[in-house]
Amino acid sequence: MDMLGQLRDAIAYIEDNLGAEIDFEKAAGIACVSKDAFLRFFSYMTGMTLPEYIRRRRLTLAADELREGGLRVIDAAVKYGWNSADAFSKAFFRQHGVTPSQARDRSARLRVYPPVSFHIAVKGAKEMDFRLVDFPETRVLGVSAPFDGEGYGSREALRHLLWSEDCGNVPERIAGARWNTAGCHAHDGVWYGVWQDGRYMIAREAGDVRGTGLEERILPACTCAAFATEKGGRAWEELPRLFALIEAWLPSSGYEKAPGPVLEVLHLWTDGEERRKNRYYEVWIPVKRKSAG
């Protein structure tokens, strides 16, 4: 079955179970990808997380049933997964701007969300250049935080948090200097975003670090498929796109993911003008050849 067909079947499973418990692992299995990959791909393609989509769809169906079928508010709450009528009513109001009782009025305006559908439009051909990299065992220093798939909503949320000034200026702690300091090149060069063992880590090789009190990690040697963005983009835009393309590429590539960390490789500059013009990003995925048969 083609990728689009698998995605549509996964969405059909979710739609069929909006009034019951939805197993994200099962949905991902229908799409023939891992749960983590499915959540990332869904977020990139739709602009919302899968839990957010499910909440919106459930509140859309609840509004329809309240208006057309006379369903009691408490029954709607229970049917669509809320623990109380009060919690349901608050969520309902945040989405629709009216209370469940007011939604019974056919003139009330409701904010509804139709089922998502996936379509891929291709102009010419979309190239995905990659190279194989023999990544040696590497000692890095940096700062990490746990990623549980729920607490941050998405990988993008955790990445943005750690790179932002709101999280203790992690890059400046590692570089030992502030961004855009005249005559300072402490941020020039390669940085890593390391996804490993349920954590995300911003790190640099030990020789590029000037800060103190940082975590140490030994990244194991592995063979990686390396993909790069064009120059000049922003990490928070480019990396999710790159991950989504890789997830679509991998099933038909002849490779499969191997044990080891997934690396974001960021090529950065201290100087603002150089950074805007020449920065680019890579994603390195540990891979091995698929076995025959």
For the chain, how far is it from start to end, CA to CA, in angstroms?
18
Convert the pLDDT of each residue in 78-105 to its tens digit.
Answer: 999 998 999 999 999 998 888 998 888 7
| CA pseudo-torsion sign 239, 244, 249, 251 | positive
- pLDDT average, residue stretch 25-48: 84
Q: What pLDDT is recorded for position 3?
A: 64
Q: Which helix (H) or strand (E) holds 189?
A: strand 189-196
Of 4 and 145, the one with more pLDDT = 145
User: Is residue 139 pLDDT above 90, yes or no?
Assistant: yes
pLDDT, the chain, mean: 81
Of 71 and 287, the one with more pLDDT = 287
User: Is residue 36 pLDDT above 60, yes or no?
Assistant: yes
Q: What pLDDT is recorded for position 106?
A: 65
User: Is residue 187 pLDDT above 70, yes or no?
Assistant: yes
pTM for this prediction: 0.58
Convert the pLDDT of each residue in 200-257 to its tens digit.
Answer: 999 999 888 888 889 999 999 999 888 888 888 888 778 887 887 787 777 766 778 8
User: Is residue 13 pLDDT above 90, yes or no?
Assistant: yes
> Tokens representing 284?
């390195």
Torsion of CA 171, 175, 178, 179, to 10 degrees: -70
- pLDDT average, residue stretch 245-273: 80
Q: What pLDDT is recorded for position 1?
A: 43
